[in-house]
Amino acid sequence: SQSYFGVLRGLHFQKSPYEQSKLIRVVKGKIQDVVVDIRKESNTFGKYISVELSENNKNQLFIPKGFAHGFLVLSKVATVLYKVDKSYNPISESGYRYDDPVFNIKWMLDKKDVILSDKDKQLPFIK
């Protein structure tokens, strides 16, 4: 995917039986990448990690099934590559709000600078 400064995508995941594991990397630009544990039976349910992925640091992030994923573009433009273990299925697509208070994610930009798609604006809160 290619996005511009301030664009926030997520928090997205695929519902069962089409859950995906993903390997994410940035080939151009820089993002804040966030992964949230949404497995209700997990000891770390609702917890998240946040990492910076960029063309300079060349880091990658593995996201297992059962986690929601989102990213925020911190550079003028960012190109993000996904490697997935199962094909995308539109009927299984789901997500939660990026600003859900249960997750309390510390995004690297002020809310006023965040750009959301109409679809992501409609995502529900987890409760």
Q: How many CB atoms lie within 10 A of CB 6?
A: 15
**Residues sharing a CB contact under 8 Å with residue 47, sequence separation 6 or more, in sequence order:** 36, 37
pLDDT tens profile 13-46? 999 999 999 999 999 999 999 999 999 999 999 9
* Cβ contact 31:103 at 8 Å: no
pLDDT tens profile 85-117? 998 898 999 999 999 999 999 999 999 999 999
pLDDT tens profile 38-65? 999 999 999 999 999 999 999 999 999 9
Q: What's 84's DSSP letter?
A: E
User: Which has the closest alpha carbon to 1: 79, 118, 86, 111?
Assistant: 79
**What residues are labeled active site?**
12, 82
What is the DSSP track for 28-76?
ESEEEEEEEE--TTSTTTT-EEEEEEETTT--EEEE-TTEEEEEEE-SS
Q: What's 109's DSSP letter?
A: S
